[in-house]
Amino acid sequence: MTNPGDAQLATLLERDNVDKDVNAVIALIDGVLAAADGDTRTDWIDLICARPSEELKAALFALRDQRKGLFKTAKADFNPAERIAALRKYLAVKGVDGFIVPRADEHQGENVPARAERLAWLTGFTGSAGAAVVLADKAAVFVDGRYTIQVRQQVDRDLFEYRHLVDEPVVGWLHDNLKSGQKLAYDPWLHTVQQANHLRTACEGVGAELIAIDSNPIDALWRDQPAMPLGPVRPHPLEYAGKSSADKRAQIAGLLSRLSCDSAILSAPDSIAWLLNIRGADVPQTPLALGYAIINGDASVELFMDERKLARETAVWLRDEATVRAPGELADALKAMGNQSVRLDEATAGDWLRMQLAEAGATVRVGRDPVALPKACKNEVELEGSRKAHKRDGEKIIRYFKWLDETAIDGGIDEREAADKLLSLRAEDPLFRDSSFETIPGSGPNGALCHYRNTPESNRKLTPGEIFLIDSGGQYLDGTTDITRTTIVGEPTQEHRDRFTRVLKGHIALARAIFPVGTTGQQLDTLARMPLWEAGLDFDHGTGHGVGSYLGVHEGPQRISKAANTIALKPGMVLSNEPGFYKEGEYGIRIENLIAVCEIDAPIGADRKMLGFETLTFSPIERKLIDPELMTTDELQWLNDYHAQVYAMYADDLDDDHREWLQNATAPIKKKVA
């Protein structure tokens, strides 16, 4: 027993016929705390007991709060100089000269569990992308353009050299700083096969050696490292999924046959979630259950996942879909695949998987995850769910902007309050589960940072005369939303109106696009940029990303971007349409709707099948920022038709005050009469 309360808890567990002792319950609660919103969520109780007494529930919540307090105390202890010194000592004992610390987990996820925040533990940097390299006499931290200010605020320049992740990459720094004969260690779980190959080439180029290390040094030094996350895993029912796991498994098995592969390792948790129709809670803002799966040519699946996080109904749900095995059994399973041809995902499979398969004698084929494309093409049930989720989400957006119009004009609202208000409105929806990403509430110059992150240091008031950009989204059981709207507190300048209207023209051009089957997003990207290009302007992010169905708000393999992409757009794919413009130090503009690729009736005389887009997002576009004189008749017609749809969709469900606000926000716009 660890404290006097354990005896009472043990008695309650026994009385309620719980098949876990106190230590097992503590371990499970620590895993819950390490998962998404683990310190506030309550849906983990049934992982311990299906029908707990009120007395047991109270004891479990009290234990959760006690463990949470211990965790917060541990997080407060941070001395980067001591930590980097300890790491160097550890590496010397292991006989290696350096170590790479990526901001990554074993699945290369955009959102990672608390346990995987190794870069933050070592350096203090809390951004979502980055890496560090530590050698015996020097170290560097690498971040992209989003975090050049943040890294200087969080990381000690006396300990780490600042480098740009893209312009001054890790491999270049290694080339300049590694010496012949040195050994650089890496954790093969945290680097993809391609990444490991790049690192190996860089080391060999200077006569150094890349060494795969058996256990991560940070894990050995991190005394209070959070547990592996144990967010509850729930079934994703057919009313939302639209297709059974059996049908999906048969589809993927057919793809493997065409790829001449005997099996595939699924290392992307969203692929597992889609294939088995389950959703989890291991990481923030994306309903993922971390684990691995092997799908074989006969459509059978082995799921390597901690059974402690499988709710009872989930275990029943999976009974005929997969064989559940402990995560520690993955290595033995890979060793048994020696005579097989095995597919590994180029984007998410850790080099450790390749090493194990190669050692077993398997033929390793690295390529795109076979689940990625089928998952991207939503079925009709998923599309209808997305339409319903967007309709409900749009009603919250209308209420939000009416509130903003009435409260922001006196300068009393700050970015944090603005973001929290929108979250509180979305949380009223019974199908809402989380934000789909951290809301971006960019006021004035903060809006000019296209991936701005609000912090106590950066938080500022919404000031009259300044543009306010808010990019946000929701995770609903029936769909994932992502919407950006730009407004102005007070009155805009002519420059504001010009830039906003050019962004709107690009948005409309993409929304109206008609294109032949086989067209890629890269081929359409120019449509959204042309009105800005005509004025010598542009934006530096992609025009559109894929979006999942109650899954990741950023989903491949499709995208709309200048960057090379060979994936043709297919019916059912959901993407964002989000051109923008950013004037450094002053303001940012972005207009984002989600759109779904759909089949259309080809024009008379057409000799091939054509596709277009269905708009899913319906919310007013700021009329004060539009200059109708810059728009064509067709563009104005699209905008007025869109606003008429918005009004018709919501007017009957709103009270008189909100209906009046919406009527004004969606009133038709006309050019001036000459």
The whole-number pLDDT of residue 453 equals 86
Same domain, 422 and 335: no
The whole-number pLDDT of residue 145 equals 78
> What average pLDDT is seen over the chain?
95
Same domain, 107 and 41: no
- Say which residues have a Cβ less than 8 Å from residue 105's Cβ, sequence separation at least 6: 112, 113, 115, 116, 190, 290
Residues above pLDDT 90, as percent of the chain: 90
Distance CA 168, CA 422 (A): 38
Least confident range of 230-234, 382-386, 446-450, 494-498: 446-450
Q: Could you write out the DSSP letters of every residue in 491-535?
A: ---HHHHHHHHHHHHHHHHHHT--EETT-BHHHHHHHHHHHHHTT
Question: Is residue 639, in this structure, part of any structural domain at all?
Answer: yes
The pLDDT tens digits for 15-58 are 999 999 999 999 999 999 999 998 898 999 999 999 999 999 99
Same domain, 188 and 297: no
Predicted confidence (pLDDT) at residue 520 exceeds the cutoff of 90: yes
Distance CA 452, CA 439 (A): 9
Helix (H, G, I), strand (E, B) or coil at 623: helix
Q: What is the 3-state secondary structure (H, E, C) of 108-134?
A: CCCCCCHHHCHHHHHHCCCCCCCEEEE
Same domain, 583 and 569: yes
Which one, of 47, 118, 111, 106, lies nearest residue 330 by Cα?
106
**CATH number of the domain that residue 322 is part of:** 3.40.350.10
pLDDT-derived band at 1 (thresholds 50, 70, 90) equals very low
Question: Is residue 545, in this structure, part of any structural domain at all?
Answer: yes
pLDDT-derived band at 268 (thresholds 50, 70, 90) equals very high
Question: Is residue 350, in this structure, part of any structural domain at all?
Answer: no
Torsion angles phi and psi, residue 611, rounded to 5: -125, 165
When pLDDT is averaged across residues 191-215 and rounded to a whole number, the result is 96
Distance CA 570, CA 612 (A): 10
Provide the 8-state DSSP code for 191. S
How many domains are there within the chain?
4
What is the value of pTM for the model shown?
Answer: 0.94
Same domain, 505 and 629: yes
Q: Are the CB atoms for 613 and 657 separated by under 8 Å?
A: no
The pLDDT tens digits for 586-603 are 999 999 999 999 999 988
The whole-number pLDDT of residue 605 equals 86
Same domain, 298 and 436: no
Distance CA 170, CA 176 (A): 10
What does the CA dihedral 398, 399, 401, 407 come to, rounded to 10 degrees?
170
Segments forming the whole domain that contains residue 260: 234-343+366-374
